[in-house]
């Protein structure tokens, strides 16, 4: 008998796969694939045309590339900025346009336009690079980096920390810290030229921390914060990998900020305890706590330890790189102009009468107009901060024929103001004498001197920074003979984004013998 094999029941038909590589490949050979390709291509093309159209509509007649590089714009240039590149941009027009990752940027290079941006708080406010909110903490924007009336009120309170009386106290701290560092410099720089940049940065950090926090933090803290602060500096470059993955610059900067905030918060707490116990102020935090405890003080309110630490952190952020740049270039200008260094020493001799061990005071500093002119001129020739980023909060009619579109970045730059030959004849030359004649074009045009910015956000630390630079130079001029090793990179500029000589200024200091 023939037995028929039993057939399995028929399978239900398989549902079509959601995605099949084979079927896609096959489809590519069919009609639908071309439609898909054409559509995608058309969308991409449309987006690229839209990008160019928007760029050109915003740029209008301003100088700048006629077409922007798709998506990235001038990203490559902003990764490796050079002074030559900046100068080319500034000289291309008083207002000029660029685009980076579709952020439309208007650069203002004339004195009038730079000042107009800084003095138009209803249209423009300071903005920081993307990484800043990670590095300096988001809540800093609620308490320190304010704008408008909130900023004016907050700043009024902080101005009390930079009165002449307070600066007088800070000078004695600056003097002691500087002399301590010079003992070390004697050993480190004595035998052969060494790069000055990092020792100058450490000196500045140590001085600032002692001025701000006094003895409320231990010595080890100033070293830790100083060493790790470099991670913050490099993370605040114009362009950085935007997400703080472990190992990225922003990640390292966040760790550095956490270390700094730990010590700064402790300092605020210690200062409050000491002032509550009747102590006399010996640093900026003490001055502040004492002011807040004064029942007649109008700006009285509670400041948490954390908020006070944030303020000190923002002072460090605003001062550390700029002060270090200013100081390194001041050394370089003076050592390269021995006749000017000789005049600084002559003035020191007259004012201090050979008594170089006695600490400097604010009254003695008042008697050093030549040294003051040296600092002013050095900062003019090589300004630490050449531009500051602002943002147009609404359409900003900056000139009769151009309105900056809302949300554009606006970058007032100071270089051309500070190198204007009509105000500073021989603008690239280091000539402190131009500040000594009250009728000189330099003194007659104070609005050109944009080293400290202008308007409501003008630097709060002008006197503090000037005094500190004068003090360091006064001590170094009298304690050491200086030598400078010129290298092929001496006259090249590193943009970090404050300016430094590319070779970090190689100096030798040997103890000076006084007759």
Q: Binding site for heme: what residues are annotated? A: 459
Shortest distance, CB of residue 460 to ligand HEM, whole angstroms? 4
Q: Which residue of 464, 480, 482, 509 would you call a contact of ligand HEM, by CB under 6 A?
A: 464
Select 62 or 460, whichever has its Cβ closest to ligand HEM.
460
Please identify which residue in the block is written with the tokens 């949300």: 407
Tokens in use for 342? 């000789």
- Which residues, in sequence order, are bridge partners of residue 482? 509
Shortest distance, CB of residue 161 to ligand HEM, whole angstroms? 8
Select 314 or 448, whichever has its Cβ closest to ligand HEM.
314
Tell me how far apart the alpha carbons of residues 173 and 321 are, in angstroms, rounded to a whole number: 20
Q: Mind giving me the DSSP string for 320-361?
A: HHHHHHHHHHHHHHHHT-HHHHHHHHHHHHHHHTT--SSPP-
Does 185 help bind ligand HEM (rule: CB under 6 A)?
Answer: no
Binding piece for ligand HEM, criterion CB under 6 A, among 361-369, 448-456, 488-496, 504-512: 448-456
Does 459 help bind ligand HEM (rule: CB under 6 A)?
Answer: yes
Does 73 help bind ligand HEM (rule: CB under 6 A)?
Answer: no
- Which residues, in sequence order, are bridge partners of residue 387? 413
Tokens in use for 158? 């902080």
Does 382 help bind ligand HEM (rule: CB under 6 A)?
Answer: no
Q: What are phi and psi of 498, to 5 degrees?
A: -70, 165
**Cα 217–497–161 angle (5° rounding)?**
40
Residues 6+ apart with CB under 8 A from 378: 326, 329, 330, 333, 334, 430, 469
Select 177 or 454, whichever has its Cβ closest to ligand HEM.
454
Q: Which residue of 73, 81, 244, 326 would you call a contact of ligand HEM, by CB under 6 A?
A: 326
Tell me how far apart the alpha carbons of residues 177 and 185 are, in angstroms, rounded to a whole number: 12
Shortest distance, CB of residue 79 to ligand HEM, whole angstroms? 23
Tokens in use for 142? 């609620």
- Pick from 437, 438, 415: nearest CA to 427: 415
Does 344 help bind ligand HEM (rule: CB under 6 A)?
Answer: no
Select 279 or 455, whichever has its Cβ closest to ligand HEM.
455
Please identify which residue in the block is written with the tokens 């100071």: 414
Q: Mind giving me the DSSP string for 115-158?
A: HHHHT-TTTEEE---TTHHHHS-TTHHHHTS--HHHHHHHHHHH
# binding residues, ligand HEM (CB under 6 A): 25
Select 270 or 314, whichever has its Cβ closest to ligand HEM.
314
Does 458 help bind ligand HEM (rule: CB under 6 A)?
Answer: yes
Q: Which residue of 97, 118, 225, 232 would you call a contact of ligand HEM, by CB under 6 A?
A: 118
Does 461 help bind ligand HEM (rule: CB under 6 A)?
Answer: yes
Does 322 help bind ligand HEM (rule: CB under 6 A)?
Answer: yes
Does 452 help bind ligand HEM (rule: CB under 6 A)?
Answer: yes
Beta strands (DSSP E) in 356-458 are 390-392, 396-399, 402-404, 409-412
Shortest distance, CB of residue 139 to ligand HEM, whole angstroms? 17
Q: Where do contacts with ligand HEM occur on this chain (CB under 6 A)? A: 118, 126, 155, 314-315, 318-319, 322-323, 326, 384-385, 388, 451-455, 457-461, 464-465
């Amino acid at each position: 008998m023939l037995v028929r094999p039993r057939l399995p029941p028929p399978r239900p038909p398989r549902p079509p796969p959601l995605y099949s590589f084979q079927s896609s490949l096959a489809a590519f050979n069919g009609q639908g694939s071309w439609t898909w390709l054409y559509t995608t291509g058309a969308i991409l093309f449309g987006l690229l045309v839209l990008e160019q159209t928007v760029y050109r509509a915003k740029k209008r007649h301003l100088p700048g590339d006629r077409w922007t590089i798709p998506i990235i714009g001038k990203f490559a240039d902003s990764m490796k900025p050079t002074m030559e590149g900046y100068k080319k941009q500034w000289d291309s027009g008083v207002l000029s346009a660029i685009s980076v990752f579709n952020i439309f940027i208007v650069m203002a290079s004339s004195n009038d336009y730079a000042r107009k941006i800084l003095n138009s708080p209803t249209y423009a406010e300071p903005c920081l690079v993307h990484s800043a909110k990670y590095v300096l903490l988001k809540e800093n924007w609620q308490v320190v980096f304010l704008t408008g009336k909130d900023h004016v009120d907050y700043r009024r309170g902080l101005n009390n920390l930079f009165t002449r009386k307070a600066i007088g106290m800070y000078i004695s701290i600056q003097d002691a810290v500087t002399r301590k560092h010079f003992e070390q410099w004697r050993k480190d720089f004595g035998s052969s030229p060494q790069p000055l940049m990092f020792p100058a940065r450490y000196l500045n950090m140590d001085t600032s921390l002692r001025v701000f926090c006094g003895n409320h933090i231990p010595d080890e803290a100033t070293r830790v914060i100083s060493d790790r602060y470099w991670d913050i500096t490099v993370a605040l470059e114009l362009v950085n990998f935007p997400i703080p993955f472990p190992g990225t610059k922003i990640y390292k900067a966040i760790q550095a900020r956490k270390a700094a905030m730990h010590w700064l918060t402790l300092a605020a707490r210690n200062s409050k305890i000491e002032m509550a116990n009747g102590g006399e102020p010996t640093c900026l935090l003490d001055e502040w706590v004492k002011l807040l405890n004064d029942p007649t003080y109008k700006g009285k309110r509670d400041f948490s330890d954390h908020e006070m630490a944030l303020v000190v952190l923002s002072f460090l952020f605003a001062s550390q790189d700029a002060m270090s740049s200013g100081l390194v270039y001041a050394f370089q200008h003076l050592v390269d102009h021995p006749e000017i260094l000789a005049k600084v020493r002559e003035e020191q001799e007259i004012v201090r009468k050979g008594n170089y061990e006695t600490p400097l005071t604010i009254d003695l500093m008042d008697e050093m107009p030549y040294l003051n002119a040296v600092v002013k001129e050095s900062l003019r020739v090589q300004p630490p901060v050449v531009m500051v980023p602002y943002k147009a909060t609404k359409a900003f009619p900056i000139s009769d024929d151009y309105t900056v579109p809302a949300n554009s970045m606006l970058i007032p730059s100071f270089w051309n103001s500070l190198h204007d030959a009509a105000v500073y004849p021989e603008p690239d030359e280091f000539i402190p004498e131009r500040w000594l004649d009250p009728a000189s074009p330099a003194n007659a045009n104070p609005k050109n001197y944009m080293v400290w910015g202008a308007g409501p956000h003008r630097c709060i630390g002008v006197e503090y920074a000037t005094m500190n630079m004068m003090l360091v130079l006064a001590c170094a001029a009298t304690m050491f003979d200086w030598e400078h090793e010129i290298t092929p990179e001496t006259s090249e500029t590193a943009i970090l984004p404050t300016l430094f000589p590319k070779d970090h200024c190689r100096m030798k200091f040997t103890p000076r013998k006084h007759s």
